[in-house]
Structure 1
Amino acid sequence: MLGKIALEEAWAIPENFKAYDVSSLAPKGVIGGDLIANLLDVHGTRLEQMDENGVEMMVLSLSSPGPQGVTDAREAEALASLANERLESEVGRNPTRFAALASLSLHDPAQAGRELRRCITERKGFVGAIVNDFQSAGPDRNTMLFLDRPECDAFWRVAEELDVPVYVHPREATPLIYEQMWKDRPWLAFSALGYAHRVGMHVLGIVTAGVLDRFPGLKIVIGHMGEHIPYDLYRIDHKLNRARFPQMPMAKDKLVRDYFGTQLFITTSGHFSTPALLCALQEIGAGAIMFSIDYPFESIPNGCVWFDDHVPINGRDLVDIGRNNALREAPHPLQYK
């Protein structure tokens, strides 16, 4: 399919590596070339591979953990502002091929809302925001600030008003949780399992806290074919027993599945499995799914060949997933097909 739009595509600035050295995630040659070099690149190899594989646009975002990995509030805000300034410049060099998700510090939700508003209304090229799971805080980096805390309504209110999606992306665990859960099984701590566990809990926490009910225009996106949530929807809804949990703030007449396609969306980033996609289609529908690659942590050719040649769905759903849903939920001057 020509004209694909990819939503979860990483980019970096050298200052971001102070929070987390991503080079350990994939030594040279594991994915293709040098991971750090590919993160820093926008208009070279990345664009060449987009042209070769029918990707018309990439929506770029600062690589994880970004500001969420910075425990000092002022330093986190400064990193977000710097990244947004540089990303605006990169996107501005080729605005028909690239767009941006704004980085935000979540120490102060009201400040995060102001930075998002500035990016959407004063800067160019931004179509939404990205948050890398919880915000680290505290002297030992073990305090986790989540987006379902009541004071975060100040941020959600702005995102709804601006009508832009918020992408909830994974990050590494805190030192304490890593020590208790993952130290003896480090191969499970990241993409294989830990990312999905943590983001799934966070997003379901947001939903069951009633955030989507208080802000019915809010849109949240999660990657990696939904971080396991679509395949557990029956059990999730079945076990959110209102008799057992009468204090749960989520609307009493709603199931979690009811939010998909209007307020909750998933992408295919880094999860190029046809059976998994077909399951997601049956559970949440084509309108809730958007194509993504997860470059440079995943291969552009691998993701595109899978989607173009190995996804047996009708043409309308293919184009909606590959392009139209992204334009609908994160508006951009590009045209629908």
Structure 2
Amino acid sequence: MVLSLVSPGPQGIPDKAGAEKMARIANDKMSEEVMKNPSRFAGLISVSMHDPAQAGEELRRCWNELKGFAGIMLNDFQTAGEDRNTMLYYDDPEYDVFWKVANELGAPVYIHPREATPEINEKMWKGREHLGYSALGYANRVNMHLLGIITAGVLDRFPNVKLLVGHMGEHIPYDLYRIDHKLNRARFPKMGMRKDKLVRDYFGSQVFITTSGHFSTPALLCAMAEIGPEAIMFSIDYPFESIPNASVWFDEHVKDTLNARDLVKIGRGNALNVYERLREGKGPHGLKDKTPTECDVGGLRTKDGEVEFGLYNKDFNKRLVKQ
């Protein structure tokens, strides 16, 4: 399990010194706890994003001096201002100094949702607070931020940066046709993204999604059709979601829907490709690439004496009950 400080973390602290202090304390503690059992856990680095240069320094410290980290967690925009209503977004050119460090280190960046500011809550969600969080508001804020980073050209300037979002892509896969269709280059000539690329072109190489908290097989199939299986990885979103519920969905429903290669990519392989420090020889976690057969998916069950593929009901005369 890849662990992180719970949202909003340092992004929810408007005071620069306080946010930086929280990140440092959390990172030191995370490293200490992960390294008690690194074959079971890895961690994500927390940073304050008030000062992009300081965020890069803390990232570099954790990446080079501490152990157990596989990437970074940013909880959407950074809160600033005495009234907590200032929102700092990382597509602003001043954040290039941070992205340069992430690019140099090869540290994947996960963008996680958080609550809105008091002003936004008052203007948008008052009287409909139930929509302001996981049901709708979280996704709407994160997908705007992610698309802002992509269309500002951040990934073009820093081609080694990898971004991740959860919840089956925060609505983006479902809307990807319209996003690409409406980002008309004649209408928006100053858009910073490369002129020869679509948003969808970044998925699977620099942008990835996880299934965290979104255990819908039709939604997964939509995402696979739009961005490809290599851009998706299994995740749970604990403690906000049930580990057994997520596992039953993937092991019993998704397993019977996907081919073995895509199942293993989404369930294991893609995470090792993105979070390279999880791999054996790259860090203390020691995970290995595995084939579908090694993951006990598809193929002959030779260890059980199987000699025939596809014989799920071994009696020719009656239907057996699944144990």
TM-score range, shorter chain: 0.7 to 0.9
Partner Cα distance (2:41, 2:185) in 1: 44
Partner Cα distance (2:125, 2:157) in 1: 36
Partner Cα distance (1:286, 1:120) in 2: 29
Q: Does 1:274 find its partner at 2:227? A: no
Counterpart for residue 159 of structure 1: 102
Counterpart for residue 288 of structure 1: 231
Q: Does 1:335 find its partner at 2:266? A: no
Partner Cα distance (1:195, 1:260) in 2: 21
Question: Residue 206 of structure 1 aligns to a residue in which SS?
Answer: helix
Q: Which runs of 5+ in 2 are unaligned?
A: 281-286, 291-323
1:92 to 35, 39, 47: 35
1:263 to 183, 203, 206: 206
2:66 to 114, 123, 130: 123
Q: Does 1:217 find its partner at 2:190? A: no
Question: Residue 135 of structure 2 aligns to a residue in which SS?
Answer: coil
Q: Aligned AA for 2:225?
A: Q
What root-mean-square deviation, in Å, do the aligned CA atoms of Structure 1 and Structure 2 show? 0.5
List structure 1 segments (4+ residues) > 4 angstroms apart after TM superposition. none
Partner Cα distance (2:126, 2:20) in 1: 30
Point out which structure has higher relative CO (alpha carbons under 8 A, 6+ apart): 1
Q: Does 1:239 find its partner at 2:182? A: yes
Question: Residue 91 of structure 2 aligns to a residue in which SS?
Answer: coil
Partner Cα distance (1:183, 1:87) in 2: 36
* 1:1-337 superposed matches below 5 A: 58-311=1-254, 312-331=257-276, 332=278, 333=280, 334-337=287-290
Question: Residue 197 of structure 1 aligns to a residue in which SS?
Answer: helix
Query: Which structure is higher in strand share?
Result: 1
How far off is 1:114 after superposition?
0.8
Question: Residue 112 of structure 1 aligns to a residue in which SS?
Answer: helix
How far off is 1:156 after superposition?
0.5
How far off is 1:192 after superposition?
0.1
How far off is 1:182 after superposition?
0.6
Partner Cα distance (2:58, 2:194) in 1: 30
Partner Cα distance (2:120, 2:44) in 1: 28
Q: Aligned AA for 1:151?
A: E
Partner Cα distance (1:216, 1:189) in 2: 34
Partner Cα distance (1:91, 1:217) in 2: 26
Q: Aligned AA for 2:289?
A: Y
Partner Cα distance (1:318, 1:192) in 2: 27
- What's the TM-score once normalised by structure 2's chain length? 0.86
Q: Aligned AA for 1:118?
A: R
Partner Cα distance (1:164, 1:303) in 2: 26
How far off is 1:205 after superposition?
0.3
Q: Aligned AA for 2:274?
A: E
Partner Cα distance (2:42, 2:80) in 1: 30
Q: Aligned AA for 1:293?
A: I
Q: Aligned AA for 2:199?
A: V
Which structure has the bigger radius of gyration? Answer: 2
How far off is 1:169 after superposition?
0.3
Q: Which runs of 5+ in 1 are unaligned?
A: 1-57
Question: Residue 123 of structure 2 aligns to a residue in which SS?
Answer: helix
Equivalent residues, number: 280
How far off is 1:164 after superposition?
1.5
Query: What do residues 173-192 of structure 1 show as CA deviations (whole Å, max 9, x unaligned)?
Result: 00000000111101101000
Partner Cα distance (2:110, 2:200) in 1: 18
Partner Cα distance (1:91, 1:135) in 2: 26
Query: What do residues 177-217 of structure 1 show as CA deviations (whole Å, max 9, x unaligned)?
Result: 00001111011010000000000000000001000110111
Partner Cα distance (2:103, 2:268) in 1: 22
How far off is 1:76 after superposition?
0.2
Query: What do residues 283-318 of structure 1 show as CA deviations (whole Å, max 9, x unaligned)?
Result: 000100011000010000000100111111011111
Partner Cα distance (1:121, 1:212) in 2: 23
Question: Residue 62 of structure 1 aligns to a residue in which SS?
Answer: coil
